[in-house]
Chains A and B, each alone.
Chain A
């Protein structure tokens, strides 16, 4: 009986009855997962290994400053059209860092974007602002 009760209680804790009913704990846990990814992003941001010449993103963008993630998508003259943030990151990877581009869904690209956005939190969106 106790075992059944325990199972029922634990099922209630783990599996809410409806899809939109996530718990405070879950929200916190998912935020932590984001923070982990952002921390990975910080490591990549300061790493001399992601390009081929030892230059790190943080050398020109301390604390991801001057990346302006809140303005994308926008016209980026180095690419000749309206682009998203990850495309500009790839531009930097290829040019100042003389390295390889990453796919948009590459975990490293996601991590770096997570870091850049985190450092820019609270700034209002201004898509298209040059």
Chain B
């Protein structure tokens, strides 16, 4: 099997348990020798931030449609098959029924069970009412092969802000602008905090936990709402557990971090990339220092710096491959020696390409 990763990956593989990449080879040919016996070992796919945008009537922005269609087509090719797919939020751009229906129709082409996470662009037109009809609960949990999964609705905000707009459309438009100074920070709210505490109380400390959230559950950059107000409190609730992984969308870029026992990894958008907050010269931001940046995007190719994710659950930790349609794929594996996620090809500064510093 041709291995597209650099030779250094083989050394890296000793420290991580990553072995499975998104491909089409029978399991017997790719299982990495030495994967711990009895530990959960399965894969799932993650598609996020499709931002289906209506122009008029049955006409949608073709660029965003194509991004989601391609993710579905590629994910359907996966061999061995993933256990399930997660949709990470922001299916629609302005939360209309037309957009949600169009997006849901494309997603329905997936050959696997799909769990969905709410994004702000899905929510603020009708406060998630139509979303419930399509995808059910706004927050929930389930267990699978010894792993506890939690989905949070982490894009809520203060009631004052929600209530101050004259129309639903106005409220949605205000929240839709990433850099809108009239925006309002994301949160999960008291009700969900209580629910989360209760939900986690039933989970044993050595059960691996994965939390799916749209907002980062960290405080990265408030100006673009790369932010969750209760980040510290949520992290405190997760602290007692041995292995916690948080997967979040919203940022449309590669980010990953380790805070105590929690490994955080972002996912990419299928629609378009966002620049790193530090590229905004007028504000301070806190991009996790572990992150090796993605390449700066080429706007000509509509699929540049967009893609979907393939996740390999191994030994209670998530190894993640960013399947980028028009760029070198990036793999962020959990390095067990170092105890944090790491880019398998570009962690060494000498291995980086100029495109990773010119964003």
Contacts and interface: CB of A to CB of B under 8 A. Distances in A.
Direct contact of A and B (CB under 8 A): yes
Interface of A: 46, 52-55, 58-63, 65-66, 77-78, 91-92, 95-96, 119-123, 129-130
Interface stretch (B146-154, B185-193, B274-282): B274-282
Interface in B280-307: 280-283, 296-300, 302
Contacts of A96: 63, 299, 302
A120 B279 CA distance: 9
> Which 8 pairs show the lowest CB-CB distances between chains A and B?
A66-B275, A62-B179, A65-B275, A62-B178, A65-B280, A63-B179, A78-B300, A65-B279
A60 B61 CA distance: 14
Contacts of B283: 63
Nearest to B279: A65
A119 B280 contact: yes
Contacts of B112: none
Interface of B: 53-55, 61-63, 177-180, 223-224, 272-275, 277, 279-283, 296-300, 302, 354, 358-359
10 contacts: A46-B180, A54-B61, A62-B280, A63-B179, A65-B277, A66-B275, A91-B299, A92-B299, A95-B299, A96-B302
Contacts of B224: 62-63
Interface of A, helix, strand, loop or mixed by DSSP? loop
A91 B358 CA distance: 20
A63 B177 CA distance: 10
A54 B359 CA distance: 26
Given A62-B178, A92-B299, A55 B282 contact: no
A46 B178 CA distance: 10
Contacts of B178: 58-59, 62
